[in-house]
Amino acid sequence: MIYSLYDIIIHISVVVLLPYFLVKMLSEGKYRTGIPERFGLYRERKLHALQDGDVVWFHAVSVGETKAVLPLLKLFKERHPEKKVVFSTTTPTANRVAKTEEPLLIDALIYFPLDLSWVVKRAVARLRPSLFIVVEKEVWPNVIHILHRRGVPIVVVNGTISERSFGRYKRLGFFFGPLFSSISRFCARTEADRDRAVKLGVAPERAVVTGNLKFDMEEPRPKDVDIESLRRELGIEPEEPVIVAGSTHAGEEELLIDVFKRLKKEFPGLKLILAPRHPERFDQVEALLKTSGISFKRRTDSSKVGEKTDVVLLDTIGELSALYSISTVAFVGGSLVEDVGGHNLLEPAVFSRPVVYGAHLKSYLYMAELLEKEGGGVRVSDGETLFSVLSSILSDDGLRARMGRAARRVVDENRGATEKTMDIIEEVMREHSLL
């Protein structure tokens, strides 16, 4: 009865929001991407590789979750090459990252179905998963309910539950309690995440702290090009300092451009690589740069390869992590504006780079606290403190080296979540006779 009521509400919501999404589909390409698959309609050739063998369904919402789970997916396929992997994402950008970075590990790459009962039933019937592995914090009632009723074990990896989400789930405990109790294993990032999961209904013996998968990221390198060649392509000399500002959002680019212009007076050779989080904002950021009075080029502009400019607008997908390797200092966006929550602070830390970020952190707060405790990261509150911090780091070689070593130390000392999580997944597979 409860799920029928939820299904009615979801259908009404879809009808009410349909005009909004129709407008978005006409104006923004990302809303047109993967529509048939979001309704559980898949081309035969896309699912052809799933015909022989047990199907394991991995789901990651966006880029951060996708990158976090790829090392686990790689280990899973190394240990169980006979298993067929369906990998679903919600966003087009995450879909492209999965397709680009690990295409050989994925037998079928799809978009996640809408959480409408008839859509989910159709998708499950077509995919026939024997195990469902979901990354971090997604709770889709119909997906969980239908998979559980069909006897498909559900494993949450890199599990995290914010205080805000916990409060919301707790208030609706009559509905979410049965969902959380359906989870076969909850692999939590921290003890606090585990405690919240248990209070929400996960059986205590099924909740375990495995750590954060993001600490186990492999060190990305530019494909088929060395660092020196990359610098030449970007028009950056080896001795020139570089700020890489990654995963930025609206409201941050203006601030970063202003801070960069002020820093240029102090450090004339300074360069900025500016990487907006969402591809649909590339043109918008380009417009900001045109009015800024500083020279710039887009990364994909083949006519300007090697040309020297003050700013490089990174308008590619999947290249940011590698470009952190040429940074002098990194700024990680989504953290100076509210309602985003920040992004992965470890991507520059893995290259022993000082990490700077804003004060608006949610899922990445624990990561920031670790960096700050070791001395590898600095939290700033506004443009003025950002300018002051960047100026200090750029002008002090010793400070920069100490911060870089400390940032890398945080990564090294917290590795191991992938192996622990894999052990838990295999435990579930044995329980359900999937090994």
* Secondary-structure class of domain 227-413 per CATH: alpha beta
CA 345 to chain centre: 11
The one catalytic residue in 37, 65, 253, 347 is 65
Alpha-carbon gap, residue 136 to 237, rounded angstroms? 40
If you compute the radius of gyration of the chain from its CA atoms, what whole number of angstroms results?
A: 22
Residuewise pLDDT in 10s, the chain (435 residues): 677 778 788 778 877 776 766 665 566 656 567 889 999 999 999 999 898 889 999 999 988 899 899 999 999 999 999 999 999 999 988 998 898 877 789 999 999 999 999 999 999 999 999 999 999 877 899 999 999 999 999 999 999 998 889 999 999 998 999 999 999 999 999 999 999 999 999 999 999 999 999 999 876 654 545 778 889 999 999 999 999 999 999 999 999 999 999 999 999 999 999 999 999 899 999 999 999 999 999 999 989 999 999 999 999 988 898 899 999 999 999 999 988 989 999 999 999 999 999 999 987 898 999 999 999 999 999 999 999 999 999 999 999 999 999 999 999 999 999 999 999 999 999 999 998
CATH architecture of 2-211+416-431: 3-Layer(aba) Sandwich (3.40)
Sign of the C-alpha dihedral, residues 352, 323, 385, 215?
negative
**E strand residue ranges, 90-206:** 108-111, 129-135, 154-159, 185-188
What the block records as the tokens of 96 is: 């492209």
Q: Is 65 a catalytic residue?
A: yes
3-class DSSP state of 201: coil
Q: Do domains 2-211+416-431 and 227-413 have the same CATH topology?
A: yes
pTM to 2 decimal places: 0.85
| Domain ranges (residues) in the chain | 2-211+416-431, 227-413
